Structure 1
Amino acid sequence: MRVGTAVTTVDAAGMRAQNSSLLLNMIWRERQISRAEIARRTELSPSTVSAIVADLERSGLVRSIGAGVSRGGRRPTLIGFCDDAFSLIGVEMGATHVTAALTDLRGRVRAYRHASHAVREDPKGTLQKVRELVQEVLDAERVPRRSVAGMGIAVPSPVHPSAPGKLSPLLVPAWRDYDVQESLRSAFGLPVFVDNDANLGALSECYWGAGVNGEDLAYIKLATGIGSGHIIHGDVYRGAGGTAGEISHMAVDSSGPQCVCGLRGCLVTLIGSAALLERARELMGRKDKRALTVRELVEGARAGEPAARQVIDGLGHYLGIAVAGLLNLLNPAIVVLGGEISSVGDLLLDPLRASVRKRALSTSMAETRIVTSALGDRAIAVGAATLVLQAALRDRTLFPLQHIGKPA
């Protein structure tokens, strides 16, 4: 009897939690909806719906927002999601910079900070810079930590599910003895979620960008490294060990330069930002020691500078080899290009599409749109915040208890 009672209690508690998350997701997605419509769609009893909605109202996540349109009989009372009930923190640790964003529960950025930093070489300094920027965005909006649901961290490394705070010692050896998740969880006392930066670029596009209609997509981050994140059936595909999408180390030229990973002719050795800028310097015949920047390369290409255009054409050619493979293998509906270099737009898209057409099945190419991201340089930090939102919508206990949100 005791065993049976315990199982029944656990099952009932689990069912209540599942139904609570189901309703929370529905209200978040619809923005406003009546109790009657929730009951109709979920096939839950009106009393169950009312009890869950009342609990969500006490948490500050939803509130009554007035009467809806009558379909006969009394006008229904609409329940609305409170987008500013809690805040989310998203952090991007790029190879050479740190970004922190504070968002609401609809992905809107409330505060944003960015700083250059040698992330790959300086783990201790990077973590300190993250702490500083996170505190700055909290202070900027006077947000107490108790009103923050959690922190998402985008890192320039694959993330293994068994050790999400540890970066790859092969790709970023200086981070071997550091745990990003544990360090920041201890510093802020918040739930911390860590994922690869390209994965979070893909998640950002899924929620707020090119993939909002629910289509499968691939997001390619063009920066110091070249990474891709993949959304399949509405969620990030990470692979068995978290290394799905590591196209930086796709070998595309067997006679190409040696890569730090040990392979030769990896994509990153040909179109990573360091390789692109070095090629641009050679073609421009620059002798000065001042480093060329990606922004200058972009501006040169837009201005019609032949050397800059040649570099962008080469980027499109090699990237097209990788994208053609993605189309043949996964056939996403959309391929989104992110990173500062992608802001050249059609100057990159035209040679890229030409390269893809030579290598991908015509049926794959016909079903896929290749576009540049409209989310800008905040996409990955917002994607990191979205990682927290996704987790909290699936498990509403991640939202702090006994908090009453401000009116939406």
Structure 2
Amino acid sequence: MSGTGVNLGALAEFNVAVVLDAIRRHPSGVARTEISTLTALSGMTVSNVCRRLVEAGLVTEEAAPARGRGKPPKILTLNPDGGFAVGVHIDPAVVTYVLIDLAGRVRERMRTATPTVQNAAKVVGEMAARLDALLLSAGVDRAKVLGIGVASPGPIDPETGVVLNPPMLPGWHRVELRRALSIVTGLPVLIEKDATAAVVSELWFSEPDERRDFAFVYYGTGFATGIAIAGSAVRGVSSNAGDAGHISVDPDGPICACGRRGCVGVVTVPRALVEQAVRDGVLTGAQVGDTADVLQVGTAFGLLADAAAVGDAQAMEILTGAARHIARAVVVVVDLLDVGEVVFGGPFWPQIAPFALTTLPDAVHSDPGLVVPHRIRFSESAIASDVAAVGAATLVLDDSFSPRAEALRIRNPDEAVARFSTL
């Protein structure tokens, strides 16, 4: 028998999440009375929740400096050392591991070359060993780790935690990553598409209502987009929403594997630009090496960006040309979603940013295909090149601490919410 009432256990969990969210959004501290005003929770509810959070070590409470007569209020702040989350970003070139604290600060990071999956169990074992090394280097007790977030190129199956068949990850076909990694590490594991993980991190680290409707353009070994509408990440039916890589931006461009010409995910990525640089004489074949090797492509792309930075006209044209192609894809995304902002980030974004940001805004606003009547804001992620890895770790914090009203509905009489049962 299903119900539509309020689950009292879920209500308690929801209240904890609401209070935690209010505290984390006030890093300089907030009093209980202020929390009650901000959250519309009763003073008694706020006091009970705060007491439990202090006892659990997630929050600290100290008296404010005395000002005049009367007892100064106690100020609550998030305890950064109260818990940690691990983020893993699987890129075609490298796997990035980060450890973040409750305040979202990166406490440790590590990178390794991305393995080709021939033995999935061996790959998962290697990842578990790297996670152990990460915690050891940071001096963090595993008992304080809330979970592991994994950001992977799509497509993924979030229900089963399987990496399905990412086009730029040879051998990664139906890798049952979430369950295997959870068994080996003994920790909860979440898996998300990389660009969506980046969106979650942008929402997490933004001020309330600062960013609500935006597209995130992820520029790494590949090209990907993530979406936020009304302050929430858009995942879609299968959690693979936002793949804009097959938007055609150059009708005379090379044929993509999908059969179209000039897909943005083909003509703008570092490998394509490095190959163009060789054809145009900006780089030599010896400088580039094997363009099938993503690590060598990354090094060569850095050389291309350096040449553009010192004024090489051909190098600059290659990067600004890529920016114009990206702008055409952005126009399609903006028209489709009616977002007000486009955020850029990813491992290779810093190299192209100086040229893209001087070309792309005008290219978008002057495009005859732009339908929306409002100006588009263009900004860069505050999380530099590790945005997907940090986003993966943020998934864990967001899953643990972000209040969600839908959790209050009873779907099953046996439903029990245990996330904060230890508090």
- Give the TM-score of the pair, scaled to structure 2: 0.83
Partner SS state of residue 395, structure 2: helix
What's the CA shift for 1:278? 0.8
Could you tell me whether the CA contact under 8 Å between 1:87 and 1:147 is conserved in 2?
Answer: yes
Give the structure 1 partner of residue 22 of structure 2.
26
- 1:286 equivalenced with 2:284 (yes/no): yes
Cα 1:79–1:210 shift into 2, 3 Å: closer
What does the per-residue CA deviation read over 1:345-396, in whole Å, with 9 as the maximum and x for residues that have no partner?
3312222223213326778475322233342222211111111110010379
Identity of counterpart residues, as a percentage?
28
Gaps of 5+ in 2: 290-296, 404-416
Partner SS state of residue 30, structure 1: coil
Partner SS state of residue 345, structure 1: helix
Q: What's the RMSD between the two structures over aligned residues?
A: 3.1
Letter of the 1:383 counterpart: G
Partner SS state of residue 268, structure 1: helix
Cα 1:341–1:298 shift into 2, 3 Å: farther
- 1:271 equivalenced with 2:271 (yes/no): no
Could you tell me whether the CA contact under 8 Å between 2:212 and 2:232 is conserved in 1?
Answer: no
1:198-217 to structure 2, matched below 5 A, reads 198-208=195-205, 213-217=210-214
1:7-406 to structure 2, matched below 5 A, reads 11-31=7-27, 32-67=29-64, 74-118=71-115, 126-168=123-165, 172=169, 174-208=171-205, 213-284=210-281, 286-288=284-286, 290-291=288-289, 293-343=300-350, 344-359=352-367, 364=372, 366-394=374-402, 397-398=418-419, 401=422
Could you tell me whether the CA contact under 8 Å between 1:328 and 1:360 is conserved in 2?
Answer: no
What's the CA shift for 1:260? 2.9
Letter of the 1:196 counterpart: K
Letter of the 2:41 counterpart: L
User: CA–CA distance in 1 between the matches of 2:79 and 2:105?
Assistant: 13
What's the CA shift for 1:242? 2.1
Letter of the 1:270 counterpart: V
User: CA–CA distance in 2 between the matches of 1:190 and 1:225?
Assistant: 30
What does the per-residue CA deviation read over 1:302-354, in whole Å, with 9 as the maximum and x for residues that have no partner?
11123321210220121011011122222333212223442243312222223
Cα 1:17–1:258 shift into 2, 3 Å: same
Partner SS state of residue 41, structure 2: coil
What does the per-residue CA deviation read over 1:263-308, in whole Å, with 9 as the maximum and x for residues that have no partner?
4432122112221111111111624374252211111111112332
Letter of the 2:305 counterpart: V
Partner SS state of residue 107, structure 1: coil
Cα 1:12–1:203 shift into 2, 3 Å: closer
Cα 1:15–1:366 shift into 2, 3 Å: closer
User: CA–CA distance in 2 between the matches of 1:380 and 1:27?
Assistant: 25
Could you tell me whether the CA contact under 8 Å between 2:153 and 2:166 is conserved in 1?
Answer: no
What's the CA shift for 1:91? 0.8
What's the CA shift for 1:218? 1.6
User: CA–CA distance in 1 between the matches of 2:128 and 2:45?
Assistant: 43
What does the per-residue CA deviation read over 1:25-56, in whole Å, with 9 as the maximum and x for residues that have no partner?
22222242222233334443333322222222
What's the CA shift for 1:162? 2.9
Partner SS state of residue 82, structure 2: coil
Higher helix share: 1
Partner SS state of residue 175, structure 1: coil
Partner SS state of residue 371, structure 1: strand
What's the CA shift for 1:86? 0.6
What does the per-residue CA deviation read over 1:163-196, in whole Å, with 9 as the maximum and x for residues that have no partner?
3333336665622241111121111111111111
Could you tell me whether the CA contact under 8 Å between 1:25 and 1:393 is conserved in 2?
Answer: yes
User: CA–CA distance in 1 between the matches of 2:138 and 2:179?
Assistant: 25
Cα 1:134–1:212 shift into 2, 3 Å: farther
Partner SS state of residue 60, structure 2: strand
What does the per-residue CA deviation read over 1:130-161, in whole Å, with 9 as the maximum and x for residues that have no partner?
22322221010221221100111110113344
Could you tell me whether the CA contact under 8 Å between 2:214 and 2:341 is conserved in 1?
Answer: yes
Partner SS state of residue 265, structure 1: coil
Cα 1:240–1:12 shift into 2, 3 Å: closer
Cα 1:128–1:250 shift into 2, 3 Å: farther
Partner SS state of residue 274, structure 1: helix
User: CA–CA distance in 2 between the matches of 1:48 and 1:393?
Assistant: 17
Could you tell me whether the CA contact under 8 Å between 2:346 and 2:388 is conserved in 1?
Answer: no
Partner SS state of residue 280, structure 2: helix
Cα 1:349–1:371 shift into 2, 3 Å: same
Across the two proteins, how many residue pairs are aligned to each other? 397
Letter of the 1:216 counterpart: D
